[in-house]
Amino acid sequence: TPGTPSGIDNSLCTHGGTMVFKEGQFTALKAFPSNTPLSIVIIDSCIPKSTHKMVSAVKEKQQEMPKTFDPIFTSIDSISECCSQEFNRIITENSIPNYKLLQDLIFINHQLLCAIGVSRPELDVIHQFAQSMGFVTKITGSGGGGCMLALITPSNEDLVFTFMEALSERSFKSFRTRL
């Protein structure tokens, strides 16, 4: 039901871990090995949002334009599947992440989220600024404000502190966490 929270965001923030949520079903992934070098920066846009309003607006657009929206949702689902497969590969093989693949998937996912109307100018500013510093970002949750995530890779690791300071100077909050 639009506007009915799944509880997944609060659960993962409280207890940690990774999870796949699809068609009302939760599937927990095994924990990443402690030596997995996979980290992100969470960027709080400090923009209040309403999940109910965002989900309702997208659902309304999808009903008006199913031939346009359905392929976008199919693509978003495919990206989620690819990320899940990569995470499972990292976990089961205890291997180094394929950063290029993850960067591409995150970038494309963000563009698709913009296409369905869940971005806003302030989030676009964060996205473009992050890109200028070598980070790829995407909207989290239902969009419309709230948070974004930026993937930390070996090629931008040295810039994380500078990136986070620059975000703070632009009145955005951020913190680093490991997956």
Dump strand ranges (E) for the chain.
19-22, 25-28, 39-44, 137-139, 147-152, 173-178
Q: For Cα atoms 7, 9, 155, give the angle at the middle one, nearest 5 degrees.
A: 165
Q: Is 9 a known active-site residue? A: yes
Q: What is the distance between the alpha carbons of residues 51 and 105, in angstroms, rounded to a whole number?
A: 23
Residue of 9, 70, 104, 124 marked catalytic:
9
- State the Rg of the chain over Cα: 16
Contact 143, 172 (CB under 8 A): no
Q: What is the distance between the alpha carbons of residues 150 and 135, in angstroms, rounded to a whole number?
A: 6
Q: What is the distance between the alpha carbons of residues 17 and 33, in angstroms, rounded to a whole number?
A: 11
List the structure tokens of 4.
């009915």
Residues annotated catalytic, as ranges: 9
